[in-house]
Amino acid sequence: MAFYNIASSMNLTIWATIVFFYMSRYASTSLAEEMSQPSSLQLEAKALIENEWWISYTSKFGDDIIIGVLDSGIWPESESFNDRNMPPVPQRWQGMCETGTEFNTSHCNKKLIGARKFSQGMKQYRLNISNTNDYDSPRDFLGHGTHTSSTAAGSRVQNANYFGYAEGTATGMAPSARLAMYKVGFYSKDIRVIDAAATDVLAGMDQAIEDGVDIMSLSLGFKETPFFKNPIAIGAFAALKKGIFVTCSAGNSGPHGYTIFNGAPWLTTVGAGTVDRELGARVTLGDGDITVTGISMYPENLFISRIPLYFGHGNRRKELCDWNSLDSKDVAGKFVFCDYDNESSVFRSEDIYAWVPNRGFARFVHDYLLTDYALVSGTSMSCPHTAACSCTAQSTHRDWSSAAIRSAMMTTADVTDNANGRIIDMTTLLLEPLLILEQGT
């Protein structure tokens, strides 16, 4: 979640920060893909199962580890937060489930064990927090926090799919872990972004420490300032002294120098990698003379004829389908074509926010794509993967400190990409979730 009051530069020594770039071959976002084609995955799985620690790993998907997520709130009715077969809440937990707009204590359970909101700072900046802007409660309005929470510790959900894609069981990386939501980000309809006050974020981090979380996950960032003035750096330093593992997103700027956010050396900062597969789609133009192949996430068997096309020719933001660049009046009932960068096969537009069940996600103003699931990428989604890696490590190795977990992540990470080539752009290490547990065994 890149808050838009962030600057795109910072003056600090980049090498002091651990920056992980998550790759999709171990991906388990809210939609877990059942992939059988890459033989390398099967070989890796076979090797892991043969390791003697595998039985220990599979029996402890974050058992009773508490992940505190600081984000835009949570949609508690999501099936990803069901608490079936979960044991009682750990007695050491000191948190609570706060009431507010369309949210009450009954929305918490043995999976979502705590939920609070911190909005005083935003209210001082005269943000009107209402049902049309956001909920003045832990409830999620756009779905960003719901997505990051389910990525980290979502419960298993059978028969999930997105328009037929990724059909199977949806699960977070640490499905046995507990979740606590600290809502610090609020949507502003006027400026169409999620924003947060430094005081609210710091208050949320302080509360998470007091409540007894084991891990903090923050898919957000502020303008880089000296460490002693940066709210996330300050809060994370206090958490570190209590033995709490803190992971943050590196931001979606770049790729150029001095564009990484959350650069304090005591933070575990994570960036996003690219994927080695595409969801292909074909559109036949005119009378069938021309067929265009591109990327889409609509059903493979979708067949609609005589539909007009839209391409924002002459306006680069519209050509790229950039955030908030398209008007629903222009694109309603049309095929929308978006340009992208051929060199990296990564769309140039801003990171897309996730969205909550039954509400949809509005790329266009006042328009929704109705679906209960989302396929979303970006550093916001990489951060909870790192939190979950820490979670499984803690549940398997109770004597490991947060520093030991960071060390295990660094020393088991790849220094080459999945084609055995040099990692380019801002990347430094590719996180290897399953190999982390081998350290010290």
Among residues 28, 176, 380, 395, the one annotated as catalytic is 380
Provide the pLDDT confidence category of residue 137 given band limits of 50, 70 and 90: very high
Q: Which helix (H) or strand (E) covers residue 239, if one does? A: helix 231-241
pLDDT for residue 167: 84
Is the link from the previous residue into 255 a cis peptide, with omega within 30 of 0?
Answer: yes
**Maximum mean pLDDT: which of 86-95, 262-271, 285-294:** 86-95
Mark out the alpha helices in 349-424 (DSSP H runs). Answer: 379-396, 402-412
Q: Which helix (H) or strand (E) covers residue 271, if one does? A: strand 268-272
What mean pLDDT is reported for the chain? 72
144 counts as catalytic: yes
pLDDT at 90 over 90: yes
380 counts as catalytic: yes
Q: How far apart are CA 53 and CA 67, in angstroms?
A: 24
CATH architecture entry for 14-276+378-438: 3-Layer(aba) Sandwich (3.40)
Provide the pLDDT confidence category of residue 211 given band limits of 50, 70 and 90: very high
Residue type, 220: L
Residues 414 and 433: beta-carbon distance below 8 Å: no
pLDDT in tens, 247-259: 887 755 545 444 5
Among residues 30, 63, 64, 71, the one annotated as catalytic is 71
Residue 329 or residue 188, greater confidence: 329
pLDDT in tens, 10-30: 222 222 333 333 333 333 333
Q: C-alpha 132: how far from its chain's center?
A: 24
Among residues 63, 107, 136, 144, the one annotated as catalytic is 144
Query: At a CB cut-off of 8 Å and minimum separation 6, what does 353 contact?
Result: 1, 142, 143, 144, 147, 194, 361, 376, 380
Least confident of 159-173, 179-193, 255-269, 354-368: 354-368
Q: Which helix (H) or strand (E) covers residue 43, if one does? A: helix 39-50
Provide the pLDDT confidence category of residue 102 given band limits of 50, 70 and 90: very high
pLDDT at 40 over 60: no
Residue 46 or residue 156, greater confidence: 156
147 counts as catalytic: no
Measured CA distances, 3 to 101, 219, 239, 240 (Å): 23, 10, 22, 24
pLDDT for residue 340: 65
Q: Where are the domains of the chain?
A: 14-276+378-438
